[in-house]
Amino acid sequence: MNSLRRFSLSLRIRYSKKPIKQGFCKERARSLSTVENPPNLIASSQFRIPKCIVGQPTCYTHPHMISEGYLTCGITQQEYKERRDTLVSKLVAETEHAHKSHVIVIPAARKQYMSDKIPYVFRQNSDFFYLTGCLEPSAILVLIKSGLEDVYTSVIFVHEKDSHAELWEGPRTGCAVAGSLFAVDEARPVEHFSNFILRIVSTSKPAVLWYQNDSPPNPDIHDVVRSTLRQSHVSLADPQKYLHQMRVIKSPAEVELMKETCYIGAQSMNLAMACTKPGVSEHGVCAALEYGARAAGAEHGAFPPVVAGGPRAAHIHYVANNQLLAHGDLLLVDAGSQRWLYNSDISRTWPVSGKFSKHQRILYELVLTVQKRLIEILGEHRPPLDQLFDHMCRLLGTHLQQEGILPRNIDSNELIGKAYRLCPHHVSHYLGLDVHDSPLVRRRVPVQSGMVVTVEPGIYIRQDDISVPEEFRGVGIRIEDDVLITDGDPLILTDTCVKEVEDIENIVGKQNV
C-alpha cells in the first residue's frame, strides 16, 4: 500500500499542469480544499456559521475541508441565498401565475436501505442542496411569496435534536441552529410540516404550489403535499425546469469545485492505468480508481464504473467488472469522482499489455482525432449538443471510411447511419451536481459560457460484426473529457488525464499492485 501511495503521488506531480491544483500533490493534505476565497466576498452580519457541532461538516468542525466563512466547500451562505432569490424571481415572473401567492416546496432526499437496517450511502437531492447547502436527510425547504408582498419567507424543516437518535446516527443540526446555519428566516421540526403546509396553502388565495410531483425526492411527504391540491384555489406547477436552467450555468465558485473533482477523477484514472497488467481483474482496476479518488478527497465515485476488457467493452454499460484482463486486449474505463456533490465523468481506453497493436492504434487515434475536433467545434461555433452529435457521426464516418473500415461506395446519409451504428450513444451531456446534469435543459439549445459538458465519441465493434474487417472486431473505445465553455477557448478540466498514445504507453503497468 505504501508503494501504491508513493506512485499515486508521483503521477500527480508528473501530470499536474495547473498551479491551482498543487494542494492535491501534498501527501499530508489529500482532503484539503484548494478553493480559495473569491476576491469579492463580502462579510455580512446576516451570514454567520455557528461554532457548534451540527449535522454536517462546517469550517469550525472540519477546517481541513471547508474554509472559514463558507457553508460548504467553496460556497457561501450568501450564494445559497442568492440562488433562492433567483428561483423565486423566475417563478413569480411567470405570467400564467401573475398576482398569485407562491408556495415552493423543495424536499431533501430520504435515507434508502439496501436491506433491513443497512442503509445505502446517503446522497442528497441535488435541487435541495443547490438551494440550501444542507446535507441532512428528510429536510424540507419551503419558500412563501405572497401575491401582495415584494419579499418572500424561507423556512427549513429539519429533524429536531434527539440524544437517542444521535447516539446511533451522529449529530443533528436541530431547529435552534438550522436557521442561522442555512441563512433562512425560520427553522421548524419536520414533524410540523404537515400542519404548516396545509395552513399556508389554505390561507393563500389564489395560490400556485411549486412542487416536483413526478418522481418526488421524498415519498414520505408526497401525500401530504398532494392533499393541499384538494382546495379549489390551488394550482400545481413544477419548479424543476427553472432550477435546471439555473444549475446548468456554473457560478465561479462552482467552476472551482468542478476543477477539483475533475482533477481528482483524472488522477485516479492515471493511477488505474498504472495498475493495469495482464492477469489483473477488472475489480482490481476498480479498486485503484476508488483508492485514487477517495485518497484525494472525493466522497466516492460519481457512478458505478465501467471497467471493460476486450470484447466486453462493446457493451456500453458493462458494470459487472468481474473478468480477468488478458494480454493483447484493450481496456475501456468510464469512471468519475464526486466531491461535495459535484461530479467528474471521464472515459479512457488503453492496452492491457501496455502497447497498442497496429489496428488498435488505428482505431484509437481515429477516435482521439474526432474528439479533439469536436472540442474545437465547441469553441468555434458553440453549437447545441445535439448538433455536436451530428458532427461526431459525420467525422467518425469520414475517418472510418478513409481507413477502409467502412465502404467508400456509399452516400453521406448511409455513411452517417453506419457511424451511428458503431457509436449509438450521444456524444455529450451537461455535468455538475448530477452526472447527467440539468436534464430538463434540452440538448438542442446552443452551449453557453459557464456550462460544463462532456465530449465522448466512441467506437464499439462486436466480435460477430461481419460488416467490419476482422482485425478490428471485438473492440470498444471511448475517450471522454469534461469541458468548461468559456468566453474564449473551451477549457478541458480533465486534461491531466493522459490520452496521447505515448503517454498512455509510458504509464500502463508501471505500478505493482
Q: Which ranges of 67-157 would DSSP assign to H, the alpha helix?
A: 77-92, 126-132
pLDDT at res. 312: 97
- For residue 466, the tally of other CB atoms under 10 A from its CB is 8
For each successive 10 residues of the chain (513 residues), what is the average pLDDT? 54 50 34 47 68 96 96 98 98 89 97 93 97 98 91 97 94 97 97 96 91 94 92 92 98 98 98 97 97 96 97 96 97 98 98 97 98 97 97 96 91 91 96 98 97 98 93 96 97 98 97 77
Number of helical H runs and strand E runs in the chain: 14, 19
**Rounded-to-integer distance, Cα 205 and Cα 208, Å:** 9
* Model pLDDT for residues 185-230, shown as the tens digit of each residue: 999 999 999 999 999 999 988 999 999 999 999 999 999 999 988 8
Q: Which ranges of 158-247 would DSSP assign to H, the alpha helix?
A: 163-169, 175-181, 193-202, 222-227, 240-247
- For residue 164, the tally of other CB atoms under 10 A from its CB is 7
DSSP reduced 3-state for 495: coil
Q: Is the distance from CB of 289 to CB of 364 less than 8 angstroms?
A: no
pLDDT at res. 15: 56
DSSP reduced 3-state for 105: strand
Closest alpha carbon to 350 in 328, 319, 335, 371: 328
Q: Is 435 exposed, middle or buried (0-12, 13-18, 19+ CB in 10 A)?
A: middle
Distance of CA 114 to the CA centre of its chain: 23
**Rounded-to-integer distance, Cα 349 and Cα 332, Å:** 4
**Rounded-to-integer distance, Cα 132 and Cα 106, Å:** 10
**Rounded-to-integer distance, Cα 19 and Cα 14, Å:** 13
**Rounded-to-integer distance, Cα 125 and Cα 142, Å:** 15
pLDDT at res. 16: 54
pLDDT at res. 19: 35
Q: 5-10 long-range contacts, Cβ below 8 Å, gap at least 24?
A: 5/295, 7/271, 7/274, 7/510, 7/511, 8/267, 8/271, 8/291, 8/292, 8/295
Q: Is the distance from CB of 155 to CB of 186 less than 8 angstroms?
A: yes
DSSP reduced 3-state for 285: helix
